[in-house]
Amino acid sequence: MRDRALLPAAGRFYKANLHCHTVLSDGRWTKEQVKAEYQRRGYSIVAFTDHRHYGWHPELMDDGFVPLAAYEADLNEPFPPSGSFQRVRTYHLNFYDTDPVARGGFEAVQPPQRYGDMEALNAFIARMNGDGFLLHGGLKDGVTSWVPSMIQSNFGASPAFSAAVSMVLPLVNLTGAYLAGWLDHRVFRNEVKTSAALMGLALACLLALPMAVQASLPVSLVLLAATTALMLGVNTMFINVMPVKIGRSSGAAVLSGSLNAITYLGAALATWGIGAAAEGFGWGAVFVLWAVMAGTALAVCLLLARPWGRFVRKCEMERGDLV
């Protein structure tokens, strides 16, 4: 298999780890030891996600290291009399604080301990998103978060099967990132055009979804998986690739931060809004909402594709990449 670079050669990159434990939960190192070891291995960013312990360690921050405030929540089946953890199914959720300075501290909260109750779990995630915590943007996360509830409601699927689907979807989503990279490098050479193509495919899947739900669970799952994978491809273009194209321009950091903020705001609004639409108007309304979101995003991408191409060429000329 031929080697392929997934990131542009130009730009500044930072090595990050978004999940680790310290002695504050079940880790072996103190937070200071964690920082020292990760810096030794070339890391600049570490999220401290101790079990049930909110970790915000500003004293560790310096010019070469950024600690992210976070914690890990869990939702477990009832423990057996023996207390054997190996026999208990569980969800582990990492929540990342978007504004720890303004918050000034936080007592880690746990989701309702009702394993398999996807509506309660999604409501907890929506609450945390609304409070400024990230579980990880709009359409992709809105679809992913509510797929288990949708298949339980429309097909009578068991909680175990629904949970399995929610675990498999992130793996399938990776194909969207690879597809986006291939389309951008080989076909469009424009990140917004690539995003428009992915949005168009996602819109086609969502328009076919109402008919599929009436007929077949497997077809519905394929369409939902394709939608979330395509949306991850769009996220990859906007958050990871577009800021790098600006290169050393002072606007790169602003663009990256702004796009991240919009993505997470969209995730919070979508998770809450989709749940409210499903409860108030049924899943048919949710399917229409998803299609409207995708269609609107497609129209925006089509409008911005040419201006983005001109802007990228201007940045390349300023850096001397074009002559």
Q: Does the global pTM surpass 0.75? A: no
- Structural domain harbouring 161: 138-323
Task: State whether 106 and 178 are in the same domain.
Answer: no
Check whether 252 has a pLDDT greater than 50. yes
Residue 66 falls inside a structural domain: yes
* Stronger pLDDT, 10 or 151, i.e. the higher one: 151
Least trusted range by pLDDT, from 29-33, 93-97, 251-255? 251-255
Q: Is 130 among the domain residues? A: no
Report d(CA 217, CA 16) in Å as an integer: 38
Statement to judge: residues 217 and 299 lie in one domain = yes
Is there a domain that residue 272 lies in? yes
According to DSSP, residue 236 is labeled I
82 token code pair: 């023996």
- What pLDDT, in 10s, does the model give residues 3-14? 555 566 666 778
Mean local confidence (pLDDT), 309-320: 78
Q: Is 123 a member of any domain?
A: no
DSSP string for 72-129: EEEEEPPPPTT--GGG--EEEEEEEES-HHHH---------S-TT-HHHHHHHHHHHH
Same structural domain, 299 and 195? yes
Burial class from Cβ neighbours inside 10 Å (0-12, 13-18, 19+) for residue 269 reads middle
Q: Is 41 helix (H, G, I), strand (E, B) or coil?
A: coil
Q: Is residue 131 part of a domain?
A: no
Q: Where does the pLDDT of residue 100 fall: very low under 50, low under 70, confident under 90, or very high at 90 and above?
A: confident
Domain count for the chain: 2
- Same domain, yes or no: 309 and 164: yes
Tell me, yes or no, whether 126 lies in a domain: no
Residue 133 maps to a domain: no
* Together in a domain, 111 and 150: no
Confidence of residue 71 (pLDDT cuts 50, 70, 90): very high
CATH of the domain at 68: 3.20.20.140
- On whether residue 27 sits in a domain, the answer given is yes
The whole-angstrom separation of Cα 250 and Cα 48 is: 29
